[in-house]
């Protein structure tokens, strides 16, 4: 078992990463002072619930907890205000009070959604992250919780940190291949922004990761979570440094919004976005390797590296204008300057960005 800390003073919390942790969930809840007098609400999606919900409920109940559960349809569309309303209804029906906790059992969709329920129910109650996807090494850490609006991704949300993160690597064995690749996108991102040697490692170990080799996965998720924890510990509310975690996300979020949140997985959209950011890096004078290596490692992880033909460039440009990094009307981008290093550039040319999105699409047409 590996352990990391998100260092936020009195709101600091651990990330536990290991095999079989679900079986020990009750003792972690007790260790972190989650009381057993008020009920817990476990939120899972329709793919995760049949696999892991009964197990978690049984372990928690055996440890003296009262549990209720809510199952949402799998997929990004569940990150909506309507679903938030439904879940608040479920929390009320189950009798959750201010001492209760919400448990997010699932990937980033459930983590963001359940976390926002916890942030807003009774103006904020405790929550615990129990991630079950590779991508959720990113989403379960750092306290960004949100739902989407049809016009903009994650635009209704809060910063609300979990009590702890319980990452049972065994759950990852049932992930479909597409979600394995999608999760690796954010793993690679953590290397691209912080640690060149980890990018080399990802490239060399891509096949093992795709095959869900437990040792490789454990190491990759530990490294990814270490980067995330270090950045969040320095800048919890994204006043500066934390923006680097957004590499590829301005283009990526725009693609997700234009796709209606149901065609492209988050990690897939971010992969295309990171290729776009690498192209922008070249325009700012980064060495060619930044682009070629970024593209190679993402492709090795089974990720898309160009924009599918049917996407409308103008619609993507319009969606990009809703990016939360926009300040005082200027385009702000995370730009790679070397492998493992990025800079935040303000006032990025809209013309350049349009040319880059067009190039991304043209490259798909050439395949």
Ligand X SMILES: NC(=O)c1ccc[n+]([C@@H]2O[C@H](COP(=O)([O-])OP(=O)(O)OC[C@H]3O[C@@H](n4cnc5c(N)ncnc54)[C@H](O)[C@@H]3O)[C@@H](O)[C@H]2O)c1
Q: Which of 225, 169, 166, 236 is nearest to 12 (CA)?
A: 236
| E strand or H helix at 252 | helix 249-258
Q: Is 345 annotated as a binding residue?
A: no
Give the nearest distance from C-beta 217 to ligand X in angstroms.
12
Q: Which does 324 bind (CB under 5 to 8 A by kind): ligand LNCXM5UN, ligand X, none?
A: ligand LNCXM5UN
Q: Active-site residue 160, yes or no?
A: no
Q: Active-site residue 76, yes or no?
A: no
Rounded Cα distance between 261 and 82, Å, is 15
Place of tokens 């009750």: 26
Any contact of residue 48 with ligand X (CB under 6 A)?
Answer: yes
Contact footprint for ligand LNCXM5UN (CB under 6 A): 138, 142, 144, 154, 186, 238, 242, 245-246, 249, 324
Any contact of residue 47 with ligand X (CB under 6 A)?
Answer: yes
Any contact of residue 195 with ligand X (CB under 6 A)?
Answer: no
| E strand or H helix at 54 | helix 54-62
Which one of the listed residues 163, 238, 256, 268 is annotated catalytic? 238
Any contact of residue 42 with ligand X (CB under 6 A)?
Answer: no
Give the nearest distance from C-beta 292 to ligand LNCXM5UN in angstroms.
23
Rounded Cα distance between 201 and 132, Å, is 23
Within 117-175, strands assigned E span 126-131, 144-149, 152-159, 165-168
Give the nearest distance from C-beta 341 to ligand LNCXM5UN in angstroms.
17
73-132 positions binding ligand X, by CB under 6 A: 74-76, 79, 106-110, 112, 132
Which one of the listed residues 242, 322, 325, 345 is annotated catalytic? 242
Q: Active-site residue 246, yes or no?
A: yes
Q: 334 and 344 in contact (C-beta within 8 Å)?
A: yes
DSSP for residue 39: P
Q: Active-site residue 144, yes or no?
A: yes
Which one of the listed residues 266, 293, 300, 361 is annotated catalytic? 266
Q: Which does 171 bind (CB under 5 to 8 A by kind): ligand X, ligand LNCXM5UN, none?
A: ligand X
Q: Active-site residue 57, yes or no?
A: no
| Minimum CB distance to ligand LNCXM5UN smaller for 249 or for 295 | 249
Rounded Cα distance between 247 and 230, Å, is 16
Q: How would you class 237 by CB atoms within 10 Å of its CB: exposed for 0-12, middle for 13-18, buried for 19 or more?
A: exposed
Q: What is the 3-state secondary structure (H, E, C) of 161-212?
A: CCCCEEEEHHHHHHCCHHHHHHHHHHHHHHHHHHCHHHHHHHHHHHHHHHCC
Q: Active-site residue 33, yes or no?
A: no
Q: What is the 3-state secondary structure (H, E, C) of 258-303?
A: HCCCCCCCHHHHHHHHHHHHHHHHHHCCCCHHHHHHHHHHHHHCCC
- Residues 6 or more apart in contact with residue 263 via CB below 8 angstroms: none
Q: Which does 119 bind (CB under 5 to 8 A by kind): ligand LNCXM5UN, ligand X, none?
A: none
In the bound complex, which residue of the shown chain has the CB atom lying closest to ligand X? 108
Which one of the listed residues 137, 144, 190, 361 is annotated catalytic? 144
Give the nearest distance from C-beta 332 to ligand X in angstroms.
18
DSSP for residue 330: B
Residues catalogued as catalytic: 123, 144, 186, 228, 238, 242, 246, 249, 253, 266
Give me the residues that bind ligand X (CB under 6 A), please.
45, 47-48, 51, 74-76, 79, 106-110, 112, 132-133, 135-136, 138-139, 142, 144, 154, 171-172, 174-175, 179, 182, 186, 265-267
**Known binding-site positions for Zn(2+):** 186, 249, 266
């Amino acid at each position: 078992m590996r352990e990391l800390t998100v260092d936020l003073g009195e709101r600091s919390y651990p990330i536990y990463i290991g095999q079989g942790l679900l079986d020990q969930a009750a003792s972690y809840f007790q260790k972190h002072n989650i009381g057993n007098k008020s009920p817990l609400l476990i939120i899972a999606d329709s793919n995760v619930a049949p696999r892991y919900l009964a197990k978690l409920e049984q372990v928690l109940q055996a440890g003296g907890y009262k549990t209720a559960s809510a199952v949402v349809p799998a997929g990004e569309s569940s990150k909506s205000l309507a679903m938030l309303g439904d879940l608040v209804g479920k929390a009320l029906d189950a009798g959750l009070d201010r001492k209760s906790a919400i448990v997010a059992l699932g990937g980033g969709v459930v983590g963001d959604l359940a976390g926002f329920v916890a942030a807003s129910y009774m103006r904020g109650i405790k929550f615990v992250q129990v991630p079950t996807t590779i991508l959720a090494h990113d989403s379960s850490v750092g306290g960004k919780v949100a739902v989407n609006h049809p016009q903009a991704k994650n635009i209704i949300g809060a910063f609300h940190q979990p009590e702890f993160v319980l990452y049972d690597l065994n759950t990852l064995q049932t992930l479909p291949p597409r979600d394995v690749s999608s999760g690796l996108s954010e793993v690679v991102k953590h290397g691209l922004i912080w640690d060149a040697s980890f990018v080399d490692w990802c490239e060399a170990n891509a096949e093992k990761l795709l095959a869900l080799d437990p040792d490789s996965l454990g190491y990759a998720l530990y490294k990814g979570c270490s980067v995330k924890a270090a950045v969040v510990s320095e800048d919890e509310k994204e006043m500066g440094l934390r923006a680097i975690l957004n590499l590829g996300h301005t283009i990526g979020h725009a693609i997700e919004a234009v796709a209606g949140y149901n065609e492209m997985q988050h990690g897939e959209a971010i992969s295309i976005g990171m290729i776009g950011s690498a192209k922008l890096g070249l325009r700012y004078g980064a060495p060619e390797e930044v682009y070629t290596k970024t593209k190679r490692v993402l492709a090795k992880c089974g990720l898309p590296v160009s924009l599918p033909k049917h996407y409308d460039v103008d619609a993507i440009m319009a969606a990009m204008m809703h990016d939360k990094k926009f300040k005082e009307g200027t385009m702000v981008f995370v730009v790679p300057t070397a492998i493992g290093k990025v800079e935040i550039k303000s006032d990025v040319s809209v013309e350049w960005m349009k040319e880059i999105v067009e190039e991304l699409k043209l490259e798909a047409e050439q395949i």
